[in-house]
Structure 1
């Protein structure tokens, strides 16, 4: 079995290749069973483990495990760790261990950008990023594949993290700035992208302006939340999969508050990629995309890495 480290995995997952690959995957026939979710408690520390299989019915089978420990910032560790195993789908033979953190963080950012290509205004050039973890750090490059991103605003609970990411982005050529409050960042951006492990509202609906696109990445469980319920009251709401409305805290609290119904959700990312829904319908529309992740994204990224490594071997 081939071992493919983080450097190689990241190098082979350029967003110019990954975003269109994901678009194709959402149009394809890939089997994705419901993920297994387990609550972990060890030495008084709590976390969540996800087990996510997928296979493409042609050649590949993949299995990802994800461990999410939201208190890891106290230990100066990432909140998320992943592993990914790729197999021959016809025989079950192990093919590669691909760096799971690279797969997870890059496919997550790429999926948000893919949705943004349908939901953000065509001329959207400013991006507000909440969070400074692996996923957050990739969002400007991912969105730049689908929109002309120039200005980037960054907020983080720990200002030093925002300052570090802004420096990196400026070195890449973005016009990046630290903002001291979430409200300040929302006021300046065409696209607002939340990539945190928050369990309390960060973005408030009263701050949203016509034409903005709100991208919600972090909340994948009922107790996790990045917005208040009013964010959905005036918005056209989209999800990556139907599973989102059953488990994402942002959606569940909005449904409970009466600012959203399941029936009012416009479409999934499958619908958008297959051309079954047009996405944004006007420049004044407020759009919201809520993702919880899908194993087909991981499988797609892992295949890109594996096949790319074979070509360069």
Structure 2
């Protein structure tokens, strides 16, 4: 078995690599060649942790595997990131486990990649002002992925913790971008043309009345029952695109608008269908487009598979008897 460490994974797969890898697997999903299996996600009952397992396979690649891990909210005090996960890959021909890949960094860039693909496909071509709601560990992945697909002239950011937003703004300014740490999410919403939400919120942060026509939103925070970042009326007013419809209405941002009868699962458009040309994306400059990114197993597996293939090709990683 090949073991790939966190630091090695970072050197093997870039944000740009992840964008193209996730595009390929979303397209495979749209063609019916790749499938996510049912998700297990549970409250552990210890250390306030949430643990989950996501699995799937792509017969066109081919690859097969699972990612296990979750959220440990007290890890920062231990010098660790709160999100911890690992991906296990299997040989599709034999079922034998072939690689164990540390997935903390890869989870960050595959999430940014999905949002960037939505921005590339759905945002207005002239949109250049980015709003980021939530400036935790995922925010820089979102920024780097967005600027890989779109010229960004200015960034507006907000976080529940003002010091976090201010710290993020300083880092973004050091990267060469004009960035404003806003005091309210409304200020971000009214300024931005592209908005990315990446928070653990369980109540609406963005309201319908704040969003201008033509805005694109990538809602990336909701991945569990009860999580919510958007006003259901905003979801109901948007053209909604998803990574996977069943997951979006059960654990994603769409769960609340769906429960309220404002949207139907049948009306949600998989982003992969837009990428393959099977479905239309933005239809006018006035559309509010929304991507509900819940995070599917195939995103994790495609970047882990890429890391494993590159490690083997370059003779890197640690091979152990198993």
Residues 105-150 of structure 1 deviation map (CA, whole Å, 9 limit, x = unaligned): 1101101111221111112211111112332221111112221123
1:151 aligned to 149, 154, 175, which one? 154
Paired position in structure 2 for 1:34: 38
Query: Which residue is equivalent to 2:319?
Result: none
The answer to whether structure 1 residue 169 and structure 2 residue 201 are counterparts is no
Residues 268-287 of structure 1: CA deviation (Å, up to 9, x unaligned) = 12211221112011111111
RMSD (CA atoms): 2.1
What is the rounded CA distance, in whole Å, between the counterparts of 1:60 and 1:264 in structure 2?
30
* Cα distance in 2 between the residues matched to 1:24 and 1:14: 15
SS in 2 for 1:31: strand
Given the alignment, which residue of 292, 295, 306 partners 1:293? 295
Classify 1:71/1:121 alpha carbon distance in 2 versus 1 (closer, same or farther; 3 Å): farther
**Higher mean displacement: 56-65 or 215-224:** 56-65
Distance verdict in 2 for CA 1:271–1:87, change over 3 Å: same
Give 1:59 deviation, angstroms. 4.3
CA shift digits 1:151-189 (9 cap, x unpaired): 112211112222222222222222222111100111111
> Mapping of 1:229-268 within 5 angstroms?
229-248=232-251, 250-265=253-268, 267-268=269-270
Pairing of 1:185-204 with structure 2 (within 5 A): 185-204=188-207
Q: Does structure 2 retain, via aligned residues, the 8 Å contact 1:132–1:162?
A: yes
SS in 2 for 1:86: strand
Answer yes or no: is the 8 Å Cα contact 2:25–2:58 preserved in 1. Answer: no
Give the CA deviation at 1:289. 0.9
Distance 2:238 2:76 in 1: 33
Contact (CA 8 Å) 1:126, 1:188: kept in 2 or not? yes
> C-alpha displacement at 1:74, in angstroms?
8.2
Q: Deviation string for 1:18-69 (max 9, x for gaps)?
A: 2122111122222321112222112xx4332211122233543222012124
Q: What is the number of residues matched between the two proteins?
A: 310
Looking at structure 2, the residues matched to 13 and 216 of structure 1 have their Cα atoms a distance apart, in angstroms, of 24
Cα offset, 1:227, TM superposition: 1.2
Query: What per-residue deviation string (whole Å, max 9, x for no partner) do you get for residues 196-221 of structure 1?
Result: 11111111111000110111111112
Deviates more, 1:49-58 or 1:15-24: 49-58
1:13 is aligned to 13
